[in-house]
Amino acid sequence: MRKTKGAAVNKVAMGVDIGGTNSKLGYVDADGNCLASMSIPTRPNQAAKLFFRRLHENACRLFSRLPAGYDLIGIGIGAPNANFLKGTVENPPNLDWGMVDVLDEIRNYYDVPVAVTNDANAAALGEMLFGAARGMKDFILITLGTGLGSGIVANGELVYGADGFAGELGHTVVDPNGRTCGCGKRGCLETYCSATGLCRTVSELIGSTTIPSELRDVSFRELTARKIFRSARRGDPLAVKAFESCGATLGLKLADAVAHLSPEAIFLFGGMAAAADLLFDPARRSMEDNLFPIYRNKVKLLPSGLKENTAGMLGAGALIWNLTERH
């Protein structure tokens, strides 16, 4: 693939958002515009090598659709269990990849800078460069999906920590004797605050209370965060209580995060964040109640400023733009 088409005037970064089922790739300019994008099946049971070959083929085709004069300055990749410092993806939970040296895989096809990070870190960078965190030097982004991920920015830089795995707020402890977590521990935040956590709360409330609810007719297997959201919007008291419980637990642990980092803002991103006031109101209340007094009424709890369907790509592209003088 040629890096440059015609007289290079415009720079573009490739952003790749690797998911368990589908992966998205797009070309992102310095202002966070996604100039062209597509989705490809990830095929999680195939070897990583085959994925990166397909990625390259599709990326070439997509690049040819850009207007003339674009120069590819680098490739940013967001992936589960990605390690920025090592350039690896390490045993991602939903992909049969084992340990993959992503930088090596990409170098088979491209001679441009490559960077890899996990989806929450990519989202935080996207938010900082192109979203609602523009101009902020200290903030936290929380991704609320199946699980709970987080990206932390301090002093204007993403915090990777000593081993590249900083920002796992989903596995801070709410209750050492609490719910069992997929990680092997008990009482992790994401067992309460995530789509899965919300379903577990509904199930517990069905058992522990006599609050009437249409969700008493739904099996746990059939239950989704979206169903609980719709019930709550219709005023179902048990569904509302589940959101309140989820928000209260989130707020408690966000207050802890503030005591570490004193961020200007905390952003909620992902499917669950769409629950808006149902989640934000109890989370904000609980956070303020649990904040050390010097932090009170200072920390904004905000929805992400990026659209969910492109945020992954933008964030991955931001990985490259963050290393580069943008204008």
List of residues contacting a copy of itself (CB under 8 A): 136-139, 152, 154-155, 157, 159-169, 171-173, 176, 183-185, 188, 252, 255-257, 259-264, 290, 292-295, 298-299
Query: Would you say the C-alpha torsion 177, 178, 183, 184 has a positive or negative sign?
Result: positive
- Which residues, 6+ apart, have CB-to-CB distance to 168 below 8 Å? 149, 150
CB of residue 164 to a copy of itself, shortest distance in Å: 8
Alpha-carbon distance of 182 to 322, in angstroms, equals 33
Q: Minimum distance between the CB of residue 180 and a copy of itself, rounded to whole angstroms?
A: 14
Q: In sequence order, which residues have a C-beta less than 8 Å from that of residue 93 and are 6 or more positions away?
A: 80, 81, 182
CA 225: distance to chain centroid? 17
Side-chain half-sphere exposure of 157, counting CA atoms within 13 A: 6
Query: Which amino acid is present at 289?
Result: D
Cβ 74 to a copy of itself, closest distance in Å? 21
- As a whole number of Å, the CA-based R_g of the chain is 21
What angle, 0 to 180 degrees and rounded to 10, lies between the N-to-C axes of helices 119-130 and 308-321?
A: 80
Q: Which two tokens stand for residue 301?
A: 């709890």
Closer Cβ to a copy of itself, 160 or 192, answer by number: 160
Distance of closest approach, residue 170 Cβ to a copy of itself, in angstroms? 8
Q: How far is the CB of 325 from a copy of itself (least distance, A)?
A: 20
Contact predicate 265/299, CB 8 Å: yes
> Toward a copy of itself, which CB reaches closer, 7 or 162?
162
Residue spans of beta strands (DSSP E) within the chain:
10-18, 22-28, 34-41, 70-78, 82-83, 88-90, 99-101, 114-117, 139-144, 148-154, 157-158, 265-269, 300-303
**Minimal distance, residue 280 CB to a copy of itself, in Å:** 20
Q: Nearest distance from residue 174's CB to a copy of itself, in Å?
A: 10
- For a copy of itself, the closer CB: 43 or 186: 186
Q: How far apart are CA 131 and CA 127, in angstroms?
A: 4
Minimum distance, C-beta of residue 243 to a copy of itself, in the bound complex (Å): 19
- Three-state secondary structure readout of 213-253: CHHHHCCCCCCCHHHHHHHHHCCCHHHHHHHHHHHHHHHHH
Q: Which is nearer to a copy of itself, 105 or 190 (CB)?
A: 190
Give the amino acid at 229.
Answer: F
Residues, the chain: 327
Nearer of residues 109 and 165 to a copy of itself, judged by Cβ: 165
CA 272 to chain centre: 12
User: How are beta strands 88-90 and 82-83 bridged, if at all?
Assistant: antiparallel
Beta carbon nearer to a copy of itself, 17 or 190:
190
Nearer to a copy of itself among residue 255 and residue 313 (C-beta): 255
CB of 131 to a copy of itself, least distance (A): 17
* Pick 7 or 294: Cβ nearer a copy of itself: 294
Nearer to a copy of itself, 216 or 260 (CB): 260
